[in-house]
Amino acid sequence: MNPDQFQAALAEKGIILSERQMEQYEIYYKTLVEWNEKMNLTAITEKEDVFLKHFYDSVSAAFYFDFKEKPFAICDVGAGAGFPSIPLKIAFPKLQITIVDSLNKRITFLEHLARVLQLENTHFIHDRAETFGQNSVYREKYEIVMARAVARMSVLSELCLPIVQVGGTFIAMKGAQADEELQGGKKALKVLGGELKGIHSFTLPVEESERNILIISKEKKTPKQYPRKAGTPNKSPIE
């Protein structure tokens, strides 16, 4: 998917990108490839692949959730090189983005990226999701929490739901295994105060691979003991 195809494909979904926004995606791509030579940010470096599998794939969350409604405060857990929140921020500039990532060098990259893209209202925090979720400054403070390809649902729910405010939304971006993960993650969702509101399936253009966007509402407060200490959710998920 070249940049023109990317712009046209999003326009078909009602997401109209300006010249400046397209320029920002170009800068993002160049910065990603340049920094990827110094540190491992992504295995995907071909331009058409980055525009499809990173940029388009990230913005696809907006096909099923209205990010234009208001300047939502969003936390992106384990965003790596900025996916999905930075492509979404470019498309919807009013969003307020916080990224939490456990690797400091990725935070350094993201801070540089935000400067070169001239993004406002972006915050980058070096922390484990487990300790971040127990911090009263951030706990249950975000209207939307997002994650893409971080962990299976039983684990991911424990990393994300504690920082979603009651009445807010957790958006999990998944591949073909979403249904299977949901079966294993049902108990975790219930225990942590979440309720599945919708699962939206579509096929990524060109390569025809399955994608699923899970929309989960935060119905009640997360019990204080969650998230448990770093590493525990992965070793012994709520199942």
Tokens of 201: 């399936």
Residue 83 assigned to a binding site: yes
- Strand 210-218 versus strand 194-203 pairing type: antiparallel
Tokens of 227: 């998230």
Residue 78 assigned to a binding site: yes
Residue 148 assigned to a binding site: yes
d(CA 162, CA 143): 12
Tally Cβ neighbours within 10 Å of residue 205: 15
Residue 109 assigned to a binding site: no
Q: In what order do the strands lie in the sheet with 164-174?
A: 122-126, 96-101, 73-77, 142-148, 164-174, 210-218, 194-203
Residue 65 assigned to a binding site: no
Which residues have CB under 8 Å from 234's CB, separation 6+? 151, 155
Contact 101, 78 (CB under 8 A): yes
Contact 45, 117 (CB under 8 A): no
Contact 163, 138 (CB under 8 A): yes
Annotated binding site: 78, 83, 129-130, 148
Annotated binding site for S-adenosyl-L-methionine: 78, 83, 129-130, 148
